[in-house]
Amino acid sequence: MRVVHGPAPGLSRAVAADLAEVPWSGFTEAADAVLAHLQERFGMDLWVVTRVREGSQEVHVARSGAFRIPQGTPLPWLDSLSRQIHAGSAPRVATDARIEMAFGAPGVDRRFRVGAYLGVPLLTEEGHLRGTLCAFSGNRQPDELALELPVVELFARLLSTLLAKEEFAHERSEVAAAAYAMANRDPLTGVLNRRGWERALDAEEQRCLRGGRCSAVAVVDLDGLSQINDSLGHEAGDELLVRAARALESAVRPCDQVARVEGDVFGLIAADAGGEGVRAWAARLGCALRAAGVQASIGAAASSPDRPLSDAWHAADAAMRADKQSRRGPRRRAG
């Protein structure tokens, strides 16, 4: 059996070279490889893959030896050749654009005079337009170019399929990310729930271990939530929880974490915090809560080279209980 080395017959050098890098990372790389192949095979001054969204068109990938058109460059749409071709009012290929009255529309770039044009729409499975695969030349092209239209249509269909799959995967990824976020968020307050808290605490623990850093944690136990629920109803209790969550969020940095770890208990993580700053941090949390009309017991502690963050959390919980006990003491003696 004879083994043939080198690119397969009919493949351009550009595509053959890219075969060493298969698979492509996505639609953009694949589109660029297709344009390189088509330009090498058919010539033309400019090959473009455009994206069409809500009545506007822009360059996604372009190949040209004459001038550079950056990705994202806006293109005419309402009176464009691409729109006329999609509407069926212009042919998909014109080797001499001057004799096609429909080609009186502006070209892709004002620096470019259209002498010949070839364009195929990129469609969804439902037939909706998502973009175009097109080529321009400033000069008339041989009539044989029209015979090659099926090749360009094949590539356009392949790109349409890849684009649809990529967009579907992106949508699924966004849905999964939203579901993941919801699974780690308390639906009432919007802060992390117990599951999200445990993940955040573990992630911060690992970050501290890797970088030799110290971080702080705080435990906030709201006072009187059960009494409010009993006397005023759960709506009033829920309003208190939301108010507390907003107050705590207002008192921390964007890089810090706030979680509702139990019914009336919140946990907080302050990254890269320790020493005397922990006491000041706890005081800020208390001030923010009091300003929001929320009474709470607070305890805070920091990790250290000898105390992991999980142990600091237990220390903060003990400090919170001591704070609660000290605040109850005077009331008991008064009775």
pLDDT for position 5: 41
Q: What is the pLDDT of residues 257-298, one digit of tens each?
A: 999 999 999 999 999 887 778 999 999 999 999 999 999 999
Architecture of domain 194-334: 2-Layer Sandwich (3.30)
Q: Which regions in the chain score pLDDT beneath 70?
A: 1-22, 78-79, 100-112, 329-335
Sheet holding 116-123, edge to edge: 74-75, 56-64, 46-53, 129-137, 116-123, 93-94
pLDDT for position 106: 47
pLDDT for position 35: 94
CA distances from 69 to 54, 80, 103 (A): 21, 17, 21
- Tell me, yes or no, if the pTM score tops 0.75: no
What are the structural domain ranges in the chain? 13-179, 194-334
pLDDT for position 326: 87
pLDDT for position 105: 47
Q: How far apart are CA 224 and CA 242, in angstroms?
A: 15
Name the superfamily (CATH) of residues 13-179.
GAF domain (3.30.450.40)
Determine which helix (DSSP H) or strand (DSSP E) holds 234, and give its type and residue range: helix 234-250
Q: How far apart are CA 131 and CA 220, in angstroms?
A: 54
